[in-house]
A and B are shown apart, each in its own frame.
Chain A
């Protein structure tokens, strides 16, 4: 494994840990034990791999973007998580956690969602496994991702709008944690990114590492070498963590792209929220600030602790992209390659467009971008923004 396991107390360097109410401690321990046992069990890997293949549509291809490459002067490859069942990388994690839910004998699953992609993926896996599913979603996101709300309901999930705080992803996590405190004995909390208390950041990265492992082999097959730069967008950081896991032991430069209005590493300082110590956008008093981004999936003031660590050690670099350049990138990929990206993924593209031809990404370099999801969910929102 190219990225190591955290310490026994769930630390990546100084980041991570388990800052949660006492009521939840036994559940996190139980989950850690279940995950360790499963991850060491070939039968689990067999079932997980088979589900991701036959149900999830893996492996997803790596596509070389000839027209975009010509335009930018760098060789652009896309890891196509948009082509999975449900349309984003979130399915990789959710299938793993659904299998663990069954192993732990729990019948009810709760989740938070921002863009709705994790909620849709969770509702999908619950339908497949016959589990009860409740998804918390901020009221702002319920509105801008209405299509995904309907999708979750079609799949049999209860979507509960959250009206507290900034009414986005951060508050959906709070509400899911409150539900979990009350129902922990029967309920698994399926966290959608590499965040939360130990073992989530590690476990979700492991479940997402399949995309990085595939991408590395596929890039070698296409290019004959590792890429020079590997780029992924960062909300909580799960598609980036999965990607980086595949390339951490190659010479590739690793770049995570945060939303300008929710850049925990870019604009935050260390803090503790949602069970983890990590970079956090907050004020002088320690009040967590609201994130503001065009993309619901990146509208989060925190970031997974392993990214804080990778930033501190310098192994990965974190940059930001603003709403306008993201919209431009969204259109550019649509028009040059016939691929409509998720607004989240368009952040990674936007940085590549900006950096191409500079020292950050010299002309002729090979860059692999994880296209974490497809843009169908965003088409209505973008239409409004452009009109």
Chain B
């Protein structure tokens, strides 16, 4: 990610809910082929408090289809994406799985990183040790309300890249980009050399371009997941990711 950023490329990380539809692994591969720099795969959880209606619905459907953390991670081991895959899940899934066991299973199945939005810096220690020992990169989140001194600490402990939350709120599409998105990107860029990606409320190619003027790239979740909920499969995902890719490439 860092090398691509340093080469002048804007980074694109689509989010896909694991287990949503029988062809979800093909969706992940299609995102990779369409120009994603990494794919964030959600391991569905019963109580996703950082997620709005779209990803809640996707999580509910995936769970109803029998998705489990083990089945999602194992399936990712079979995906030949050629780019880093990171999982996003809530802390109880990690805690229940066992820190070391969960970290090892990620590595065994070729998953390079993890995002755990309800595990803030203050509670991060036990998982951080297990993840670091196993070689899993934990990407930390920073929020618009995070004070400056804490921002520095988050960037120091984040691995791979840092996830700036673009607005005060949960995941979901928005008609326009929040002013807080660019501010978040600038504040993070000022304190870290890690790639800074902005997610939550980035829904369209135009918004991706707008925020990437300040950031190194974007995470796009609900806008893609909505297309999947509406019946779209790998082709629809590839088409949307392709649009985002060309818009970002057009910035250079």
- Residues of A bordering B, CB below 8 Å: 9, 17-27, 164-165, 170-171, 174, 177-178, 181-185, 270-275, 277, 280, 282, 284-289
Q: Which residues of B contact A17 (CB under 8 A)?
A: 122-123
Question: Of A19, A181, A182, which is within 8 A of B119 by CB?
Answer: A19
Instruction: Give the interface residue-count category, chain B.
Output: 35 or more
- Distance in Å: Cβ of B91 to nearest Cβ of chain A: 5
B41-71 CB contact bits vs A (8 Å, 1 = yes)? 0000111111010001000100100001110
B140-176 CB contact bits vs A (8 Å, 1 = yes)? 1111111100100010000000000100111000000
Contact A285 B96 (CB under 8 A): yes
Within 8 A of A (CB), among B72-111: 91-97
Q: Which residues of A contact B60 (CB under 8 A)?
A: 164-165
Question: Of A18, A26, A288, which is within 8 A of B46 by CB?
Answer: A288
Complex: A121 Cα to B157 Cα, angstroms? 42
Asked if B120 CB lies within 8 Å of chain A CBs, one says yes
Contact A26 B147 (CB under 8 A): yes
Contact A164 B56 (CB under 8 A): yes
Complex: A24 Cα to B168 Cα, angstroms? 9
Contact B165 A185 (CB under 8 A): no
Complex: A150 Cα to B112 Cα, angstroms? 52
Interface centre among B92, B97, B170 (most CB of A within 10 A): B92
Q: Which residues of B contact A9 (CB under 8 A)?
A: 122
Contact A282 B168 (CB under 8 A): no
A–B complex contacts, Cβ < 8 Å, 8 sampled: A18-B123, A19-B120, A24-B145, A178-B49, A178-B169, A181-B168, A184-B145, A285-B68
Contact B92 A288 (CB under 8 A): yes
Q: Which residues of A contact B123 (CB under 8 A)?
A: 17-19
Contact A23 B168 (CB under 8 A): yes
Contact B165 A22 (CB under 8 A): yes
Q: Which residues of B contact A184 (CB under 8 A)?
A: 145, 168
Q: Which residues of B contact A23 (CB under 8 A)?
A: 143-145, 165, 168
Supply 16 further A-B pairs (C-beta < 8 A) apart from A164-B60, A165-B47, A182-B169. A17-B122, A21-B118, A21-B141, A22-B154, A23-B168, A25-B145, A26-B145, A177-B49, A178-B50, A181-B50, A181-B168, A181-B169, A183-B168, A285-B96, A286-B97, A289-B46
Question: Of B69, B94, B143, B150, which is within 8 A of A21 by CB?
Answer: B143
Q: Which residues of B contact A24 (CB under 8 A)?
A: 145
Q: Which residues of A contact B92 (CB under 8 A)?
A: 271-273, 280, 282, 286, 288
Residue of A nearest to B165 (CB): A23
